[in-house]
Each structure stands twice: as structure tokens, then as C-alpha cells.
Amino acid sequence: MTNLPHFIQSPLLTGVAGVYHAFCGADPLPWRDGRTRLRRFFSIPPDSVGTLKQVHSALVFEMEDADAGNPDAGSREGDALWTDRAGRGVGIRTADCVPVLIAHRERPLAVAVHAGWRGLAEGIVPATIQALAARFGAGVFDGLIAAVGPCARGCCYEVGDEVAGALSPLPGGGAALRKGAVPGKWMADLLPVALAQLRAAGIAEARCDATGICTICDPRFHSYRRERSASLRQLSFIYLP
Ligand SMILES: [Zn+2]
């Protein structure tokens, strides 16, 4: 991953022609909203980037123009959005949940997935890959490239039995949990679960990338666990110029 002050990029995704992406961190200029930031910092028209009203579901949608215009919110309820149209992009907002961005080596494709522990348990990752296969055919698997952004990791993310019980049966769930300091508490790592689900859905390990960053202990990124804010989120986007 390329480390820059306010956003981070995946070398794998950066290598895909015709795709532009970033996992944004906390904005050094907090007065900037998502629209301003997309336009001024990344030179992307904000009215071309779609986002959803994220509800920790397994709902996947093709982007419509009505989804665009406000990267800090969204109106349609769902947690994964994709487009194959030039001049369009998709984004998700996270603070400890897992942002996953996906592109394709040969065809124009931009996919953004919001996957917290609930979304991972609901199956948002396999649902997204299945939706792409339904639209483009099973051959789509061969060209998919995925990058997992900053999220809550095992160094910091203490959870109770409910979250541990939801994660443990998932691909990667066993490796993601270790016992916490007291009974009934666990340290959970969302990254290996997201990566294992991408692999289980048909994306080879060599075509998955991860920042490895923990949002809770890296202050460059927003963390709900650390900040307890209802509004501080980072935008991760992928755009087809
Ligand atoms: Zn940490």
C-alpha cells in the first residue's frame, strides 16, 4: 500500500488500467465535506460518485444516478454498489467496518462494499461477487481484483459473545478471534474474515490486497470505537474516469 498523509491506495488496484481509487483517512481540513474533498483533492465530480444508506445488509445494487451527489450520505438502503459506466464511481463510508474496493483487469468495473461484522455475517461479500457473476457471467471471477482498506483489527477490537458468535462460523472466523482479558470478551480481527470471504467467493489470494491498518489505533483514520462519533467516517471510493 502507498502511504500518503490523508489517503492510502492499493498497488494492486492502482495497477488496473482505467480505475482510480482511494481509501481516505481523517481529513486534515475538517471543514471540507465529502463533495468538496472529492472535487478539490481528487478532481472527481461529486455528482458522479454514488453512495448508499448503509444498513449492515447483504443488499447489492448497480449504481443509479440518483445514488450520486452526496458522498457523506445516501438514500437507497444497501451495502454494496457497483458501476461499469465511464465517468461514474462508487463509494462507502466506514469507521472500523471494512471497506472493500473491487475492479476488473479487463472490463470497466468499480465496486464498493461496506462490511462490518454484521455485514460479514449477513454475507455481503459473497452476495456482491454473486451479483457480479449474475450480471457479467461466471467468467468475471478470473479478472476481479480486490483491496481491503483500514478496519478494526485484533490489536484493539474487543467484542462480546454476540459478535464473536457471528464471526466464528464464517470463513476466516477462527483465525480472527482470540480470547480477551476477561470471560465473555474476545479480540476480533475483521481483516482475515474479509479476505477469507473474498477467497471463498472466488478471488484468488494473489488478487487480493490489504492495507493492514487498524482504524482504532491509527489516528490517521476515523474509528467509531475511538471517537464515538455518529458522523466521522472515511470515504473509500473507486472511479472509472
Ligand atoms: Zn489496533
pLDDT on residue 226: 95
For residue 6, the CA-to-ligand 1 centroid distance in Å is: 18
Cα distance between residue 211 and residue 78, in whole Å:
24
Other C-beta atoms closer than 10 Å to the C-beta of 2 total: 11
Q: For residue 183, report the distance from its CA to the centre of ligand 1, in Å.
A: 21
Q: For residue 34, how far is its CA from the centre of ligand 1 (angstroms)? A: 26
Question: pLDDT tens for residues 86-104?
Answer: 999 999 999 999 999 999 9
Evaluate whether residue 37 is within a structural domain: yes
> pTM of this prediction?
0.96
Our count of domains for the chain comes to 1
Q: What is the pLDDT averaged over residues 11-18?
A: 94
The reply to whether 155 falls in a domain is no
| Rounded Cα distance, 77 and 53, in Å | 5
Q: Tell me, what's the pLDDT at 1?
A: 46
**Residue 155 alpha carbon to ligand 1 centre in Å:** 4
Q: 215 CA distance to ligand 1 centroid (A)?
A: 6
In a domain, 178, yes or no: no
51 belongs to a structural domain: yes
Taking the centre of ligand 1 as the mean of its atom positions, its distance from the CA of residue 235, in whole angstroms, is 20
| Residue at 13 is within a domain | yes
CATH number at residue 22: 3.60.140.10
Taking 70 as the threshold, does the pLDDT of residue 4 lie above it?
A: no
Question: Average of pLDDT values for 166-182?
Answer: 94
Cβ atoms of residues 113 and 99 within 8 Å: yes
Residue 217 lies in a domain: yes
Position 5 scores a pLDDT of 61
The overall average pLDDT reported for the chain is 94
Q: Which domain holds residue 223?
A: 2-114+123-150+210-240
Taking the centre of ligand 1 as the mean of its atom positions, its distance from the CA of residue 151, in whole angstroms, is: 9
65 found inside a domain: yes
